[in-house]
Amino acid sequence: MAISEKIKDRLEMAAAALLIGAAVAGSGAMAQRDPAYQQARSEGLIGEKTDGYLGFVSTPSPAVRALVEDLNIKRKAKYTEEALANGATVEEMAFRTGCRLIKERTVPGEKYQAPDGSWKTRDASPPLLDVRCP
């Protein structure tokens, strides 16, 4: 197996672990999730970006901005931890996780960023993903 294939395999495993961790943490905490975050997400004010972070679909209120910035700081910390553990860059971990979050964690009615940078509303069909997504 070539080195780049080993790195790719490690990134995919790490991204899967990150998603599983988020799903486990999120499943029990779903009812405890910040109502402002859930509301902003369900109203289409914020959405998942392919770079692994949350983005603003429209101009946010100061409270929503602060909430999203806090969540993005926490995501970056997790991506950094996973990158160091797997010999990858933070950007690689964030991108791979972003692909999976869009594909596996967005639900119909929620916003996500398409590869061209436009915001799309998730429906029952598969989301548009960057060609580099695993």
Model pLDDT for residues 66-115, shown as the tens digit of each residue: 999 999 999 999 999 999 999 999 999 999 999 999 999 999 999 999 99
What is the DSSP pairing of strand 54-56 with strand 111-113? unpaired
pTM of the predicted model as reported, rounded to 2 decimal places = 0.75
Cβ atoms within 10 Å of 104's Cβ, excluding its own:
10
Strand spans (E) along 1-133: 46-48, 54-56, 111-113, 119-121
Tracing tokens 């949350």 back to the chain, one arrives at 54
- 104 is written with which tokens? 């596996």
Q: Where are the domains of the chain?
A: 3-118
The string of pLDDT tens digits covering residues 23-58 is 334 433 333 568 888 899 999 999 999 999 999 999
